[in-house]
Amino acid sequence: MCNNKFLIMKNIILQLVSLSLLIKPIFGASSNPIYGENGMVVSTSMQASQAGIDILKKGGNAIDAAVAVGFALAVTSSSNGNLGGGGFLVASLIDGNSFTLDHREKAPSSSGRDMFLDDSGAVIPGMSLYSRAGSGVPGTVDGLIRILKDHGSGKITIRQVLAPAIRLAEKGFLLSHYEARQFNAYKSFFERNDAAANIFIRKDNRPWKENDRFIQRDLSKTLKRIAKYGRDGFYTGPVAKMIVEEMKRGNGLISMDDLSNYSSKYRDPVTGYYKGYEVISMGPPSSGGALLINMLNMLEIYGEDSLEWNSSDYVHILTEVERRAYADRAEHMGDPDYWDVPLEMFRSKEYAKHRTTDININRATPSDQVYAGKPKMVMNLLRPLIIQLWISGVML
């Protein structure tokens, strides 16, 4: 609990996942903490963060600000925000209500299990990553608009939350050194697609430089349609038709029905406890939340506090914990609409304790000895606890 004047916000962790560039850490952590009394907005883009701040100053709530940031990121940080991809949203509001929204991409209705295999049954290299057939039905627009309608303050209109993104796309913004470098580094990928090349490669073919102005007028037109017509401005009408036409040009599978039928979905958060703190995160189909809790459980049980921060022993233990978590991820994670995910296994303190028993502080576990655990193991571990609770209840 915090009783001082600083606001400890339980607001929004906005996670937008792109189909395009790999997200990489680019800056070291600052040694100087930043404080705010009435709110704070954090994103990978200064311009997008400012969009969120402006919405808060106009009387919007954290949801309003998060939606403004999400649309602005689609303009200023294409590897972190997008209109053509999807994401997950985790919210913990000041009234104690916590929820998550799954607005990740969905497979087109005509997709199938063998779509990335050749006639011999072998995987076609790169097809799932770089072809139009690998494109999912985008969920970002539906998710952001839905969360605005359901949990926004009601004081901020969709036109207002989209205004910063429209301005940034239409008027442009100055590229940072990193952004210019990334555009140049991915030039060969952009050249594979005429539309991408038209956006991300300069007309004179010169490399991008820091402080070059990056303008996206076609994107601004799409954003204006969304501001005017809501989700229908993207999932029906001219924009949807252009998406389907682009799919057809490259043997993609997304249809008009796929777009119009897309719907984001509220899911139960995954929760756990770490050193007395409640951890609330995204559940499946995201693997991140369950794995986060599983790894925190293992670290807490192992006693990472006894290790010097970022020492070789600390990094070694962290690595061993992550290897075990990811072995379980590969074996047990999936879309809960089609796969029975053993969430209790990932959340269990007893299971985490079992998983740390073969960690050796002096050597790395050989990779061929890092196995996934079994869900039935969790029941065997939990049963004594359940019995003990029952006995305690009888004794009382």
Q: Is residue 44 within 8 Å of residue 75, measured between CB atoms?
A: no
Termini Cα distance of the chain: 32
Residues 346, 211: Cα–Cα separation, whole Å:
46
pLDDT of residue 343: 93
In CATH, what class is 283-395?
mainly alpha
pLDDT of residue 30: 54
Please classify residue 198 by burial: count the beta carbons closer than 10 Å to its beta carbon, then call 0-12 exposed, 13-18 middle and 19+ buried. exposed
Residues 121, 107: Cα–Cα separation, whole Å:
20
What is the residue extent of each domain of the chain?
12-172+215-267, 283-395
Q: Tokens in use for 114?
A: 């063998």
Residues 134, 113: Cα–Cα separation, whole Å:
12
pLDDT of residue 303: 86
Cis peptide before 285 (omega within 30 of 0): yes
pLDDT of residue 251: 92
Residues 260, 193: Cα–Cα separation, whole Å:
25
pLDDT of residue 35: 81
Query: How many angstroms from the chain centroid is the CA of residue 109?
Result: 23
Residues 6+ apart with CB under 8 A from 240: 234, 256, 259, 260
Token pair 């104690």 in the structure block, residue: 96
Residues 6+ apart with CB under 8 A from 274: 293, 296, 297, 300
Instruction: Give this prediction's pTM.
Output: 0.84
CA distances from 13 to 67, 99, 303 (A): 11, 11, 28
Residue 127 backbone class (left: φ over 0; alpha: ψ -120 to 50; beta: rest): alpha
pLDDT of residue 305: 84
Q: Tokens in use for 68?
A: 């403004």
Residues 162, 180: Cα–Cα separation, whole Å:
25
SS3 readout for the chain: CCCCCCCCCCCEEEEEECCCCCCCCCCCCCCCCCCCCCCCCCCCCHHHHHHHHHHHHCCCCHHHHHHHHHHHHHHHCCCCCCCCCEEEEEEECCCCCEEEEEECCECCCCCCCCCCECCCCCECCCHHHHCHHHCCECCHHHHHHHHHHHHCCCCCCHHHHHHHHHHHHHHCEECCHHHHHHHHHCHHHHCCCHHHHHHHCCCCCCCCCCCCEECCHHHHHHHHHHHHHCCHHHHCHHHHHHHHHHHHHCCCCCCHHHHHHCCCEEECCEEEEECCEEEEECCCCCCHHHHHHHHHHHHHHHCHHHCCCCCHHHHHHHHHHHHHHHHHHHHHCCCCCCCCCCHHHHHCHHHHHHHCCCCCCCCCCCHHHCCCCCHHHHHHHHHHHHHHHHHHHHHC
pLDDT of residue 220: 98
Residues 6+ apart with CB under 8 A from 284: 267, 270, 290, 333, 334, 335, 336, 339, 341, 343
Q: Which residues of the chain have pLDDT under 70?
A: 1-31, 376-396
- How wide is the angle at C-alpha 51 spanned by C-alphas 50 and 57, nearest 5°? 85
